[in-house]
Amino acid sequence: MKKKLALLLVLCLSMGLMFGCGNTADKNPPPADNGVVADDSLTKIQDKGKLVLGLDDAFPPMGYREEGTNEIIGFDIDMAKEVASRLDVELELQPVIWDTIIEELNGGNIDLIWNGLTITPARVEKILFTEPYLDNAQIIVVQKGSEVQSKADMAGKTIGLQGGSSAVEAVEKDEATYETLGEVIEFASNDEALMDLAAGRLDAVVVDQIVGRYYISKKADVYEVLEEDFGAEEFGVGFRKDDVAFRDAVQKALDDMKADGTSAKISEKWFGADIVK
């Protein structure tokens, strides 16, 4: 009996060298019919039971910490909670430094970016997006009564904006204005830039319209918005390039939320109207 068992083990080992012995599952996803590795991005999220959302937690009203509770709340947070529920997974919020958020995504530390993320050509080269769900613009905020009332007035002035934000690209793209600026200072967050503006250390701040107008609504006696801006934009949800199945599932959930009125209710809660595209 022992000799037969030993012979069987030797045979199994020999066959294992060629084909693998036993019923061990392949750790890699099976190739599709065309030889390309199948997209298991949605399956991974479902198996994990959660999706990790990367965000700047100082970006009201999209995602920010509520005063008193320190809980992260916002329009994008409510939208993401609903999508996670429809995918039958938990939502985990992961604050990161905005300037490194794409690296955090592509490095696998987060599963998606959902935080007023502007769709830009530079970002499209690096990550995958849903369809746009909100319109945006890069506005110019100054102190109430400031002598700066146009782009021309910004010549020689000190301008603040958030590092890694689409405001950087928008300002640099406007070469005629950019070349006249005195100094451009990048901040870790928009609220830091706006605080420096209120303190008189900056002449203007270029910021996303949605967050900028939120701050102004809280301090209408401190800030004002110029009529000129640095161009219209659109917000989308960002994913790793290969995570097409995961992106498509989120897009379907967003489409369903638009169709059944859920996104309208969330929008009305935060903006007083349905502004979802």
pLDDT per residue as tens digits for the range 4-48? 334 343 344 344 433 343 343 343 444 445 555 689 999 999 999
Asked whether the beta carbons of 142 and 207 are under 8 A apart, the reply is no
Element (H, E) at 100: none
Position 15 scores a pLDDT of 41
DSSP string for residues in 154-206: GBT-EEEEETTSHHHHHHHH-HHHHTTBSEEEEESSHHHHHHHHHTTS-SEEE
Dihedral sign (CA 53, 218, 230, 144): negative
Q: pLDDT tens across 213-271, in order?
A: 888 888 889 999 999 999 999 999 999 999 999 999 999 999 999 999 999 999 999 98
SS3 call for 271: helix
Share of the chain above pLDDT 70, in %: 87
Q: pLDDT tens across 87-100, in order?
A: 999 999 999 999 99
Give the Cβ contact number of residue 59 at 10 Å: 23
For 153-176, what is the mean pLDDT? 95
Position 217 scores a pLDDT of 82
Label residue 129 left, alpha or beta by phi (over 0 means left) and psi (-120 to 50 means alpha).
Answer: beta
Give the Cβ contact number of residue 44 at 10 Å: 15
Position 272 scores a pLDDT of 82
Asked whether the beta carbons of 143 and 204 are under 8 A apart, the reply is no
Position 34 scores a pLDDT of 54
Lowest model confidence (mean pLDDT) among 147-161, 163-177, 180-194, 214-228: 214-228
Cα 200 to the center of its chain, rounded Å: 31
Rounded Cα distance between 92 and 222, Å, is 35
Q: What is the DSSP letter of 241?
A: T
Q: pLDDT tens across 69-84, in order?
A: 999 999 999 999 999 9
Rounded Cα distance between 34 and 176, Å, is 50
Q: Where are the domains of the chain?
A: 41-135+235-271, 137-232
Q: What is the mean pLDDT of the chain?
A: 88
Rounded Cα distance between 51 and 82, Å, is 12
SS3 call for 68: coil
| Domain 137-232 is found in CATH 3.40.190.10 | yes
Task: Retrieve residue 128's tokens.
Answer: 């995958």
Rounded Cα distance between 170 and 270, Å, is 26
CATH number of 41-135+235-271: 3.40.190.10
Sheet of 58-59, strand order? 58-59, 63-65, 72-73
Kindly report the backbone phi and psi dihedral angles of residue 4, in degrees, each rounded to the nearest multiple of 5, phi listed first.
-65, -40
Dihedral sign (CA 181, 224, 190, 105): negative
Q: Which residues pair with 232 in a beta bridge?
A: 137
Q: pLDDT tens across 96-154, in order?
A: 999 999 999 999 999 999 999 999 999 999 999 999 999 999 999 999 999 999 999 99
Position 28 scores a pLDDT of 43
Maximal C-alpha separation, the chain: 98
Same fold flag, 41-135+235-271 and 137-232: yes
Q: Are strands 204-208 and 128-129 parallel, antiparallel or unpaired?
A: unpaired
